[in-house]
Amino acid sequence: MESIELPQPLPDQLRAVMQRLGLMFACIDLVVDHAGDAFFLEVNQAGQFLFVEERLPELPLLRAMAAMLLSGRSDYALHDSVEVGFADYLRSEACREHDDYARSVQPSSNTLHSIEA
């Protein structure tokens, strides 16, 4: 995984897709080949993104999401936001409490679950 600058007009095209779909946030999956050509795979309107910041901490994704949510706008200013990152969360008491809770509610490996339609 690595960060790249998307070539024009791709960023504008992706913004147009977002606007047409009425989305303020989405995770867009792309793959880039060795020639630098990007290929669209899908758009996830509630996509996960923190795993990217975990692998590439220089990308302030949690900070950007928090800034957007706090401002209620897609044209937020990142430099006006609180400095927070995923690594900060991982070191926090809230993370430890969440991990303790998650471990306490996980079913044992011999539990069978059934869902009926």
- β-bridge partners, 1: none
63 and 89 part of one domain:
yes
Q: Look up the domain containing 24 and give its range.
A: 1-47
54 and 98 part of one domain:
yes
What pLDDT is attached to residue 114? 42
Which sign, positive or negative, has the C-alpha torsion 18, 21, 22, 23?
negative
Residue 69 confidence class, pLDDT cut points 50, 70, 90: confident
**Cα(42)–Cα(30) distance, rounded to whole angstroms?**
7
- Residue 68 counted as domain residue: yes
Residue 29 confidence class, pLDDT cut points 50, 70, 90: very high
Whole-structure pTM value: 0.67
Structural domain count of the chain: 2
On whether the CB atoms of residues 100 and 56 are closer than 8 A, the answer is no
- Residue 112 counted as domain residue: no
- Residue 117 counted as domain residue: no
Q: Judging by beta carbons within 10 Å of its beta carbon (0-12, 13-18, 19+), is residue 52 exposed, middle or buried?
A: middle
| Beta strands, E only, 2-116 | 27-32, 38-44
- Residue 82 counted as domain residue: yes
